[in-house]
Structure 1
Amino acid sequence: MTHYQHPTAIVDPGAQIGAGSRIWHFVHVCAGARIGQGVSLGQNVFVGNDVRIGDHCKIQNNVSVYDGVTLEEGVFCGPSMVFTNVYNPRALIERKAEYRPTRVRKGATLGANCTIVCGVTIGEYAFIGAGAVVHRDVKPYALMVGVPARQVGWMSTYGEALDLPLEGSGSATCAHTGAVYELVDGHCQRR
């Protein structure tokens, strides 16, 4: 099985695209990009050369995934969310050698219009709310909102809020799946 590519999409020779992926209207995928299986690239998405996108990611309309960004399996990028790759850009100063890598771990959600400042790691199954600005690493399962983003809770792998304190210890059960989550020393983990 091959991937689907809309006639208006541009995929540069050399790009690797996994089976079952869908590339929609006006997408541009650069030659060095590595895209997994079952990925969806919405309208007007740009994927740079030094980009890795894991299996089953969904990248909604108007997202640019710039060099230095790695998305692990099952990452959701909401409409018009933003990645950066230079911390202090200037039009008149070349800084391509200063790209800071950004990693988004398995299952994380990046809400519509949020901004991920380069050089951070977003933990697995973290949930970044719409419009948030992330400039520091995010813990696994953390729910982040605001400008700058701050943690306000925890999320299950199903994408529902967990009744856990932000710090200390405790446990909670996901109402949808029955999975149990534990908070130990300020870190959430699924049992």
Structure 2
Amino acid sequence: MFETARAILKQDPAAHSLAEVVLTYPGMQALFWHRIAQYFSNHHHSFLASFLRRHSEHRTGISIAPQAQIGKRVFIDHGVGVVIGETAIIEDDVVLLHGVTLGSRHAEDTGRRHPHIKHGAYIGANAQILGSVTVGKFSKIGAGAIVLKDVPDYATAVGSPARIIEKK
């Protein structure tokens, strides 16, 4: 967790100290509770995992399913309204802004129903990424975009439905 806090301190000009990041950033608190809930989920204590998820959601405004896989140094900035589904995968060094949804499209689907966000991606405010899509390494998703198809590495996607406007 301190590795994440140090990374946030480096990249967020509004952060003034490590203590401030750890104690007041809702994304840090949500990830802390998520890691504990995930432990209980992995050890077949689903009630405790669900209870901790609800506690975290109530305190932070961020809903993370205990089964979601979240990497290192993930920064959930502001956080209110972020929803991360149970089969979502978020790799290292990803930034999510407020209102982001990593959700499913079809309730009857089995297997991976939620997005896979690769290393270094940046997801803008209120972006909706739905279904078993992949957002490539170091890609950017614009604010308010609705992503229903894969986004390649190093691409920028905007709009509803999202379209690629730039690929490096």
How high is the TM-score relative to the length of structure 2? 0.64
1:108 aligns with 2:121: yes
Q: Which ranges in structure 2 are unaligned for 5 or more consecutive residues?
A: 6-21, 41-56
Cα deviation for residue 45 of structure 1 reads: 1.1
Higher strand share: 1
Report the Cα distance in structure 2 between the residues aligned to 1:147 and 1:70, rounded to whole angstroms.
Answer: 23
1:84 aligns with 2:103: yes
Aligned residues: 128
**Alignment correspondent of 2:70:** 53
Q: CA RMSD in A?
A: 3.1
**Alignment correspondent of 1:23:** 29
Q: Is the 8 A contact 1:33 1:51 kept in 2?
A: no
1:63 aligns with 2:120: no
Cα deviation for residue 5 of structure 1 reads: 6.5
**Alignment correspondent of 2:144:** 131
How high is the TM-score relative to the length of structure 1? 0.57
Report the Cα distance in structure 2 between the residues aligned to 1:5 and 1:67, rounded to whole angstroms.
Answer: 26
Deviations 1:76-103 (A, max 9, x none): 1111011112x234xxxxx474651421
Cα deviation for residue 69 of structure 1 reads: 0.5
Q: Residues 99, 124 of structure 1: CA spacing in aligned structure 2 closer, same or farther, 3 A cutoff? A: closer
Report the Cα distance in structure 2 between the residues aligned to 1:147 and 1:105, rounded to whole angstroms.
Answer: 21
More relative contact order in 1 or in 2 (CA 8 Å, sep 6+)?
2
Give the aligned residue type for 2:37.
A
Larger radius of gyration: 1
Q: Is the 8 A contact 1:115 1:131 kept in 2?
A: yes
Higher helix share: 2
Identity %: 26
Deviations 1:113-156 (A, max 9, x none): 110011001000000000001001110010100011001113xx
- What SS is found at the alignment partner of 1:22? helix
Q: Residues 72, 98 of structure 1: CA spacing in aligned structure 2 closer, same or farther, 3 A cutoff? A: closer
Give the aligned residue type for 1:58.
F
- What SS is found at the alignment partner of 1:23? helix
Q: Which ranges in structure 1 are unaligned for 5 or more consecutive residues?
A: 10-20, 35-40, 90-94, 155-187
